[in-house]
Structure 1
């Protein structure tokens, strides 16, 4: 899988092999050291280091005034972040699981997202809300959801989901530095990769990028830029997060020359890269883990139809999770896997 190339700002020659957890921790370490206005907080992220250990050691290094625990109150966590951002800090708030964010949704949609507009530019909310998302840990209905679509339709929020450690660190640094609120979604299945697209198969060579070389210092990845992780000419696959690896596996197993695009930033969306690819291939498959109805894939299908209609050689396909409550006992059947994605690739090629 081709890794994105970005311009590094510092420590260009100093890299380390990192998992996504380590890359996220490194991003926060870099920003806590660079900018005294950066603070991090959430349930158990201080002394304990977070349920997935993304903040391990940061409180010991920067103190309890910079990295601290909060009560179990998601609306309070996000509300505090809005206030901190409005008065000059750059808070990084963690919601322990994306499933827990719903009590805080009003703070995000009604306060954080609208602050710049409703204050005529006098205030903004330069805050980042990190949250683990998706399944893969047998966490059941309340620890496995993929709620990205509810954020992408809120004007004023940016929504990001990385698929590899390099992007995770660069995007998180860019998010912390951004003057608007950023929803930073972290796929749990990729936290401690590698992942080869199957849960029961040995690691394939390209999957090493789920644990890969990451610059140890400061660098950023643009918040509005997609990455072509597998060039191809037959069909465009639009995806993000964990299903990037599923799509690449499906392309390799079917032998179809699919161009796989990792969106990285769901909103703002890199529409230019999408349109250029679909106009070249004439076919499109959309893959994501979230439920099908009103999932983010529906927006992608609409955009491709609007901008590429005269170039399409086949109907656009979607491969997604089921429209059901999260099925704990059938978790791996629920996920779009290479078999389901491969079938979609064959369908669009047969038209």
Structure 2
């Protein structure tokens, strides 16, 4: 007999004959109607697990990872308010069902919502048929996929954003001043670096006096797919964390779970400090539909787990509390399962997504709520200055104009960042808007994602491009996917500033000079911007902030480190690369065109654009008329504007300072081959890391290399 049938039959038989598990008496504090309602939520969660597997066998359902054994999360929902934002573990259907009842939704609605999610129906209320996820805009549950604790950093950021909004509430705030943020996760996920980083960051923030109303719930079923969690590991790990108040209960006991959850939530709401609720649970069935627990668990271990079925314990507790008789509980179980099966009969008639256009529709989120647009301070009359000063000045003007903008990152405050790009801003706007974080890129990005949930426009800083790889999943798996998996109902707009690329003469080698953008360019919906001059940096930064404020977009603003201080172009002291401030913007999808030359177009960005200007002079001195095309926007590529900029040119040379494999030049050469008749070639960096010292540019394009490649291309018959 399969596990689903075995657990189902055991429940019905044991309740019918009165063979209920023993245990503690019902913990006081839960009245009979609420207890009965919570049990009904638990039963519906179980029924949905059963029916989801039946739907899968019939070819009408998908992704049957279930919540059986974790039904105690209904008690956690009951202990919170329906406007407390909740980032849920994938086994928390009972939480969403209980919250739906708390918010006044009827059982038929939540049943239909869940079934449509199982079926990937196009009218699924949360993802629109894109994934089986828990979530609801009305219930303040942003959707998660099969998370491995990757949602904890943004839950931390959301809690921080609730606290920040109590001091200065942004116009787009959606969470109450006294709300708390919840994040639930499994015992195996506790060991992930993302979870450890978020928990550590929470304690660190409390030590610095932060207002951080965060409730973490660890659902401990003792096993991570097939690997057992060491005995007492979770308790010993969580009890020892500074700044984190520890609560625990038997998650199979809905009365005890409710009492502990209520106490934990009250502490978080009152003290404005984080707590963890450790619930002992059980995993019934296998990990997911395709998982067979018998391959790694003994028959005795499986039987022991099934004997802890929280529904059986619930029947006994309800009986002892006088809330519901066992016969009535069994009748309820059968009726809920019958209604759920009946509702699922409509699944063959539900429409599924039809084509790529429909699937991709929410990758770009809907426009943000209308916000007033302030006039930035006029920069006219200011002297020319290098890129790093343009960035600092533009950030200051944007923060002055838009109080919802917050900066965060390592050393961005008193130090002003590694290169001074945020110098003076903390003194000007205060530590609540220019936030020094701990050294953890996952936390920095998660903090930004979370604050964006409550109306802020975060501008987090990652010190170096090479450091992003520690935390790239926060962009790929969390920030960029949120509109997609919520069908545009949730978004986390922000602008991520990253210093990167090569050509630094004596600092850091490949640790501080990373010239690979592939990890960013293949994230759907993400905007990647790369300026090459000071005025352009200010203009593009303004556009990225506009895209966040008005269009809910996530942008990465890549700042070429070697160009930060650049003043001269052709000769020392000529000052041709520093520019005067201007308050213009550079629209997304546009390119820069320099010179009317028709012989060859030099297409580049960042440091490559600077080198192309040097090379263009040399080419012009020999009678070749070049045109320089500055891409600016690296993802999505400004294809239409680029093709327009090439009109009338006889050849095109792509100069890509990133590696030959997996970077921009491949896409550009492909575009030129598919859409033009131009002779085209590319000059790229080698597939190598970058060295420190005299060889810092040995693997990168050079002025001499550009000139030689251009001439070779023009010499082709």
- Structure 1 length-normalised TM: 0.90
Matched, 1:146 2:506: no
Aligned with 1:258 (options 620, 626, 646)? 626
Q: For residue 706 of structure 2, give the secondary structure of its aligned residue in structure 1.
A: helix
Q: Alpha-carbon deviations, 1:230-283, whole Å to 9, x = none? A: 331001111001111211211211232111101111123222232134342131
Preserved CA contact (<8 Å) 1:285 1:318:
yes
CA offset at residue 120 of structure 1? 1.5
More divergent stretch after superposition (76-85 vs 264-273): 264-273
More divergent stretch after superposition (67-76 vs 119-128): 119-128
Matched, 1:301 2:676: no
Partner of 1:53: 420
CA offset at residue 142 of structure 1? 0.5
Matched, 1:177 2:546: yes
Partner of 1:5: none
Distance 1:169 1:333 in 2: 31
Q: For residue 52 of structure 1, give the secondary structure of its aligned residue in structure 2.
A: coil
- Seen in structure 2, the aligned counterparts of structure 1 residues 185 and 121 have a Cα distance that, compared at 3 Å, is same
Aligned ranges for residues 1-351 of structure 1 at < 5 Å?
11=378, 13-137=380-504, 138=506, 139-178=508-547, 179-196=552-569, 202-203=571-572, 205=574, 208-215=575-582, 218-255=583-620, 256-308=624-676, 311-312=677-678, 314=679, 316-329=680-693, 330-351=695-716
Q: Alpha-carbon deviations, 1:268-302, whole Å to 9, x = none? A: 32222321343421311111211111111111111
CA offset at residue 9 of structure 1? 7.2
Preserved CA contact (<8 Å) 2:413 2:435:
yes
CA offset at residue 50 of structure 1? 0.5
Partner of 1:3: none
CA offset at residue 122 of structure 1? 1.5
- Seen in structure 2, the aligned counterparts of structure 1 residues 340 and 204 have a Cα distance that, compared at 3 Å, is farther
Higher Rg of the two aligned structures: 2
Q: Which has the higher helix share?
A: 2
Partner of 1:4: none
Task: Give structure 1 stretches of 5+ with no counterpart.
Answer: 1-7
Distance 1:123 1:159 in 2: 21
Q: For residue 396 of structure 2, give the secondary structure of its aligned residue in structure 1.
A: helix
Distance 1:87 1:159 in 2: 24
4+ residue stretches of structure 1 with deviation over 3 A?
12-16
Partner of 2:64: none
Distance 2:489 2:584 in 1: 29
Distance 1:9 1:307 in 2: 40
CA offset at residue 147 of structure 1? 2.8
Preserved CA contact (<8 Å) 1:164 1:209:
no
Q: For residue 389 of structure 2, give the secondary structure of its aligned residue in structure 1.
A: helix
Preserved CA contact (<8 Å) 1:232 1:257:
yes
Q: For residue 511 of structure 2, give the secondary structure of its aligned residue in structure 1.
A: coil
CA offset at residue 118 of structure 1? 1.3
Partner of 2:137: none
Preserved CA contact (<8 Å) 2:376 2:398:
no
Distance 1:166 1:278 in 2: 24
Q: Which has the higher strand share?
A: 1
- Seen in structure 2, the aligned counterparts of structure 1 residues 231 and 149 have a Cα distance that, compared at 3 Å, is farther
Distance 1:149 1:231 in 2: 32
Distance 1:125 1:98 in 2: 21
Distance 2:648 2:532 in 1: 24
CA offset at residue 72 of structure 1? 0.6
Distance 2:401 2:590 in 1: 25
- Seen in structure 2, the aligned counterparts of structure 1 residues 57 and 219 have a Cα distance that, compared at 3 Å, is same
Q: Alpha-carbon deviations, 1:168-219, whole Å to 9, x = none? A: 01111211221211010001111011243xxxx73385xx34211113xx54
CA offset at residue 15 of structure 1? 3.5
- Structure 2 length-normalised TM: 0.45
Preserved CA contact (<8 Å) 2:500 2:514:
yes
Preserved CA contact (<8 Å) 1:230 1:260:
yes
Preserved CA contact (<8 Å) 1:159 1:185:
yes
Q: Alpha-carbon deviations, 1:27-58, whole Å to 9, x = none? A: 11011111111000100000111110000010
